[in-house]
Amino acid sequence: MTSIIVVDFGMGNLRSVAKALEHVAPKAKVSISGDVSAIRSADRVVLPGQGAIGGYIKALHDTDLEPAVLEAADTRPFLGICLGQQVLYESSDEHGEDGESVKTLGLFKGQVKHFTHVSADPNAMIDPNTGHQYTIPHMGWNQVKQTRDHPMWHGIDDLSRFYFVHSYCVQSELDEDVAGITSYGVEFTSATARDNIFAVQFHPEKSQHDGLRLLENFVNWDV
C-alpha cells in the first residue's frame, strides 16, 4: 500500500489536503504527521503551507523536521503546495528585517517577492481594463500556462484555472525549473518542477476537478 505523508509542523489546517488525497487515492494510506520517522518512511511526501514564511521556517527549525523534508525532496515524489513551493527557493522578502530577505531552503534558484515589488513599472499592478489596482492578496481563480510537458499535467488542459491565495510570488531564475506561469499584473512561477519535485503556488485541494486530477497524478507519478 502506498503511504503518503502530509507534513505537519503546526502551520494551518491540513485536513483538506489529506481529504482530497484520500478521495483520489482510496487505496493509499494518507497521514498527517510531524513525526520524522514517518516522513522518512513514506513513499510520497506533501509539503503544504499557510501563513507567513517567517513562521514557516521557524516551525521547520523548531520541530527538527527540516532534515527529513530535505531528504524527502531528494529521494522520492515530493509535492509542495503554496508556502510549500515558496520555501523551496533561496529567499523571501516576507517578514525580512531592515531590508534583509528571509533565507529559505534554497533547492531552487530564485526569490519570493511581494507582487508590488516584482516590477519596476509603477503601473504593473494596475488593471489595464479597469484602471484599478490589482487587489492584494491575489485571491481566487486564475489560469496556469503550462510551460512544458510534465506527468503532473496529465489530463489537465493548458490554461486551466486553479485557486490562489497569496500576496508573495515566486520569481524563478532558471527557466528549466518552471513548469507553469500565471499572470496577475506581473508574471510569476505558479508551478516548479525538477526530477522528483513538483510544487505549486495554487491550492489543488480547493481547485475542483483539475486540482484533484493533479493530486491523482501525484499519487500515480512514476519518478
Catalytic residue at 169? no
Question: In the block, which residue shows the cell 494596475?
Answer: 126
Q: Residue 155: left if φ>0, alpha if ψ -120 to 50, beta else—which one? A: left
Which one from 94, 166, 169, 205 is the annotated catalytic residue? 205
175 Cβ contact list (under 8 Å, min separation 6): 147
Whether residue 23 lies in the annotated active site: no
* 46 phi and psi angles, rounded to 5 deg: -115, 130
Catalytic residue among 82, 138, 166, 216: 82
Nearest in space to 31 (alpha carbons), one of 56, 12, 7: 7
Which uninterrupted H or E stretch holds 30?
A: strand 29-33
Which residue out of 23, 203, 209, 216 is catalytically annotated?
203
47 in Cβ contact with 69 (< 8 Å): yes
Q: Residue 85: which of 163, 222, 200 has the closest Cα?
A: 200
Known catalytic residue at 82: yes
Q: 18 near 215, Cβ under 8 Å? A: no
Which positions are catalytic? 82, 203, 205
